[in-house]
Structures are given as C-alpha cells and as structure tokens.
C-alpha cells in the first residue's frame, strides 16, 4: 500500500492507525531516517519512508526487498520508487483540508474499483 501526500498531511499517523488495526502493540514511528521498520502484529507489517530518496536504484532495491517478504507493506513517499517498487494493491492519498486539522483521504483499490467511500 502506498501512502502519499504533502509534508505534514498525516501519512505516518495513518500508518500508525493501520498498524494498530493489524495488531501491532508497540510504538510505531516514522522511519524517515532509518528507511524502514518491521513490526509484529497479527501479521508482520513493514513501514518504509522514501522521503530522502530521489529514486531507487537496483542496489537500493536489494536493501528494501526484504521488507516486502511476508508482510503488509506501507510505503510513504512512493514517488521515489516508481518503476522499481511492486505495483501497490491500494493507494492512499492524504491532503490538507480547508479547515485547520482537516484531512482529505482518497483511497484507490484496484481489486474493488467500483467501491466508493461509505460503501
């Protein structure tokens, strides 16, 4: 799953909530400076942050690939990995709303293309 949006739009907060729903009990923090974290829950969860990347080379993909093995994967700033990362099943886009603290969330799920918010 990719999680994109402007700086401060709530990407890590979204991932934190998803991790809780997947049974992760410990701290869920931004991996901006470590690139990735792996968490144990009902399923393993990987959380990657590609903010510092301008692109992902084949060598860098070799470092990232283990995060995708047998896990639910959340990738923040996925634009840096275009053409290298596996195609996401779900894409989440977060945007600042018109009011203070408001967020707009768009979810694209290729497996359920006709599903609308609220269905």
**Is-contact 34 15, C-beta < 8 A?**
no
3-class secondary-structure state, position 46: strand
pLDDT at 113: 63
The pTM assigned to this predicted structure is: 0.85
Q: Which two tokens mark 8?
A: 């401060």
Provide the CATH number for the domain formed by 2-109 in this structure.
3.40.50.300
Give one DSSP letter per residue of 59-111, joined into a string: HHHHHHGGGGTTSEEEEESGGGGTTTSPPPSEEEEEEE-SSTT-EEEEEEETT
Phi then psi for 7, rounded to 5 degrees? -55, 130
pLDDT at 57: 85
pLDDT at 102: 85
**Is-contact 72 37, C-beta < 8 A?**
no
pLDDT at 116: 55
pLDDT digits (tens, 9 = 90+) for 48-97: 999 988 888 888 888 899 999 999 999 999 998 888 888 899 999 999 88
- 92-109: average pLDDT: 88
pLDDT tier for residue 39 given thresholds of 50, 70 and 90: very high
Q: Give the Cβ contact number of residue 12 at 10 Å.
A: 19
pLDDT digits (tens, 9 = 90+) for 2-15: 999 999 899 999 99
Query: Could you give the percent of the chain with pLDDT greater than 90?
Result: 58
């Amino acid at each position: 799953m990719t999680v994109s949006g402007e700086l401060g739009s709530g990407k890590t907060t979204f991932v934190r909530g998803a991790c809780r729903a997947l049974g992760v009990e410990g701290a869920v923090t931004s991996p901006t400076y470590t690139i990735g974290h792996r968490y144990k829950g009902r399923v393993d969860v990987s959380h990657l942050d590609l903010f510092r990347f301008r692109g992902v080379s084949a060598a860098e993909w070799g470092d990232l690939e283990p995060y995708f093995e047998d896990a639910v994967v959340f990738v923040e700033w996925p634009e840096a990995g275009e053409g290298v990362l596996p195609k996401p099943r779900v894409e989440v886009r977060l945007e600042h709303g018109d009011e203070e603290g408001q967020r707009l969330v768009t979810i694209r799920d290729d497996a359920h293309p006709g599903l609308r918010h609220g269905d």
